[in-house]
Chains A and B, each alone.
Chain A
Amino acid sequence: MSTERTADVATAGTSAGPVLTASGLRAAYGPTVAVDDVALSVGSGEVLGIAGESGCGKSTLAAVLSLTARPPLSVLGGELTVDGERLDLSGGRKPPRTWRGGVVSLLPQGAMNALSATAKVGDVAVDVVRAHRGRVPRGVALDLLADRLDALDLPRRVIGAYPHQLSGGMRQRVVTVLSTLLDPRLLIADEPTSALDVSTQRALVDLLRELVRRGLVGGIVFVTHDLPVLRAVADRIAIMYAGRIVETGPTADMVDDPRHPYTAALLSSVLVPEPQVRRRRIGGIRGAPPDLADPPAGCRFHPRCSLAMDVCTTTPPVVGDAEAYATCWWTKDHPDEPLERSL
């Protein structure tokens, strides 16, 4: 069934199989199940964008995928396969220590403030390398950082700099380099661009694309509420609503022809400096997201959906394949009709 793979396949960028496959992920804060039966995959060299509004479970999913879930968040179940290695998350089992940072790395929210104010960037790099590779000489670790900075066209001067000597955007990029220094197979980026100006946002997006292009990172899961940013960074997008993925597919297809009403509503409320935004009135989505301690039956979006039918209170069908699907009754009935015109 699952192919057994050994260490020699781990050379960067050469494996053709997915970097990550996850299935049945469930995680909860007490009675609130914030991530409910989520499955996803990230191909080699791929950036998967996960989008949704606050409270949809996207940050919880990031914590589960990056193995950084800690109380009050508890992982109830699920399975991760990273580069052929399986990890069972059920029953509160602990991930092996070597996974965190080495195999899976997290670029957290507000990462630009994550650096210690009293340590030079180079010192942090030495600590990072030693934490995973044991007694590495200082020079070796610093060389690794210098090579990485060269490869990514970032100035070497940051090695000897304290965080306050760097601009916010540069700090953010430095943290990104540090968190990928050990060539993790999978990088989980949780809202890394939210607090940034557009110019630094763009620089970070370029840096992340460069990291996957060079195979320094096997794949990236990029979590954000900002769809235009995803348009720029992601190969594929998954839209989350109320703890579940309601639609996924290649970025361009999703943006041009959304197949789930929630995706369509989300896209139409995006404000970008494009002429069509100036001409029409943007409605927003009526109602509020459901209480995840007691979610609505069937399609969780149906109480807010203008296309809802009686059948929507039963579990919606998966229309499409594992790579590109929407969970919607309306889409099942109208496979070729563009959704936007019907809303």
Chain B
Amino acid sequence: MTTDDVPLLAGEHLARTFGRGKDAVRAVDDVSITLNAGEVTTVVGESGSGKSTLARLLLKLLPPSGGRLLLDGRDVTTGADTTAYWRDVQAVFQDPFSAFNQFFTVRRLLARARRLLGAELTEERVNTALEQVGLRPADVLGRYPHQLSGGQRQRVMIARALLMRPRVLIADEATSMLDASLRATILNVLTDLRSESGLAILFITHDIGQACYVSDRVLVMSNGRVVESGPTDEVIFAPSHEYTRRLLADVPRLHG
């Protein structure tokens, strides 16, 4: 069904307003975004720019107040079948601790996918997912989140997403609470998946350095709108929008 010119996942004129009347806040305001197979896209923005709301809209965790969501060109904006959608579109979140239900072992956490996967959820598939992120199943399956290190926790979260064998992975500040050395490792795990399995990855982050390291395309968000987008080299090394320039000027550098 997929043809080359149809993007894997597309948001068209997405909007989301919180509150009513005078207090209404347009968290996401007419944002269009396309994600293609094998491509890494990054949305950068400061706190309050609406980037996390955009992530929730794309994940169908929040209904949009306007716009459309297209998967393989099909309109899935209002479809009730979210479970099918989540087999294709998965996510990793910011805080590798609060993303865990602390009362569940890793095994039980992963087993919750049974409702999505049914009989496809096998021991083997769980092990494969864990091995993909560099974890030994025997080491982690029986453990509770507080018995894992920060890096292991975030890897388990990635494994949970990969268990569905999704085609789109959305990483909402997935590395911002990790140490620099660990962050690089996790980013490498994700970008390797892109090249191996043609996964489309969307990073949502405030970290422009990270966007620079991993992404093919960058979108800059401010006040709910995309102010600039394009190939990474253009946006980061030759920004055209005033806001992007100011943002980049404030980023501390290591050299010079």
Q: Hey, which bits of chain A sit against chain B, CB under 8 A? A: 53-54, 168, 197-199, 201-202, 205, 225-229, 231-232, 255-256, 265-267, 269-275, 277-278, 281-285, 288
Is there an interface contact between A53 and B180, defined as CB atoms closer than 8 Å?
Answer: yes
Is there an interface contact between B179 and A229, defined as CB atoms closer than 8 Å?
Answer: no
Partner-binding segment picked from B4-12, B65-73, B156-164, B246-254? B246-254
Chain A positions within 8 Å of B179 at CB level: 53-54, 225
Chain A positions within 8 Å of B184 at CB level: 269, 271, 282-284
Is there an interface contact between A202 and B250, defined as CB atoms closer than 8 Å?
Answer: yes
**A256 CA to B253 CA in the complex, in Å?**
13
Asked if B47 is at the interface of the complex by the 8 Å CB criterion, the answer is yes
Is there an interface contact between A282 and B250, defined as CB atoms closer than 8 Å?
Answer: no
Known A-B contacts A54-B150, A198-B247; the reply to A267 vs B206 at CB < 8 A is: no
Known A-B contacts A198-B250, A199-B246; the reply to A269 vs B180 at CB < 8 A is: yes
Asked if B83 is at the interface of the complex by the 8 Å CB criterion, the answer is no
Is there an interface contact between B180 and A228, defined as CB atoms closer than 8 Å?
Answer: no
Name B149's closest neighbour in chain A (CB-CB): A288
User: Nearest-CB distance from A273 to chain B (Å)?
Assistant: 4
Q: Kindly identify, within residues 178 to 211 of chain B, every residue whose CB is under 8 Å from any CB belonging to chain A.
A: 179-185, 187-188, 206-211
Select which of A198, A269, A274, A281 is within 8 A of B212 by beta carbon: A274
User: Nearest-CB distance from B112 to chain A (Å)?
Assistant: 28
Asked if B151 is at the interface of the complex by the 8 Å CB criterion, the answer is yes
User: Nearest-CB distance from B145 to chain A (Å)?
Assistant: 16
Is there an interface contact between B213 and A277, defined as CB atoms closer than 8 Å?
Answer: yes
Name B211's closest neighbour in chain A (CB-CB): A273
**A227 CA to B232 CA in the complex, in Å?**
23
Select which of B151, B208, B254 is within 8 A of A288 by beta carbon: B151
**A232 CA to B255 CA in the complex, in Å?**
10
Chain B positions within 8 Å of A168 at CB level: 47
User: Nearest-CB distance from B239 to chain A (Å)?
Assistant: 10
Is there an interface contact between A271 and B250, defined as CB atoms closer than 8 Å?
Answer: no
Q: List 7 A-B contacts (CB under 8 A).
A: A54-B179, A199-B247, A225-B179, A271-B209, A272-B254, A273-B211, A284-B188
Q: Kindly identify, within residues 206 to 223 of chain B, every residue whose CB is under 8 Å from any CB belonging to chain A.
A: 206-213
Chain A positions within 8 Å of B46 at CB level: 197-199
**A232 CA to B251 CA in the complex, in Å?**
10
Name B247's closest neighbour in chain A (CB-CB): A198
Name B256's closest neighbour in chain A (CB-CB): A274
Chain B positions within 8 Å of A227 at CB level: 180, 254
Give the interface centre of A198, A199, A255, A265 by most chain B CB atoms within 10 Å: A198
Known A-B contacts A231-B253, A271-B207, A277-B209; the reply to A225 vs B47 at CB < 8 A is: no
**A202 CA to B254 CA in the complex, in Å?**
14
**A288 CA to B151 CA in the complex, in Å?**
9
User: Nearest-CB distance from A171 to chain B (Å)?
Assistant: 13
Is there an interface contact between B254 and A282, defined as CB atoms closer than 8 Å?
Answer: no
Name A265's closest neighbour in chain B (CB-CB): B181
Is there an interface contact between A271 and B212, defined as CB atoms closer than 8 Å?
Answer: yes
Chain A positions within 8 Å of B182 at CB level: 53, 284
User: Nearest-CB distance from A291 to chain B (Å)?
Assistant: 11
Is there an interface contact between B188 and A272, defined as CB atoms closer than 8 Å?
Answer: no
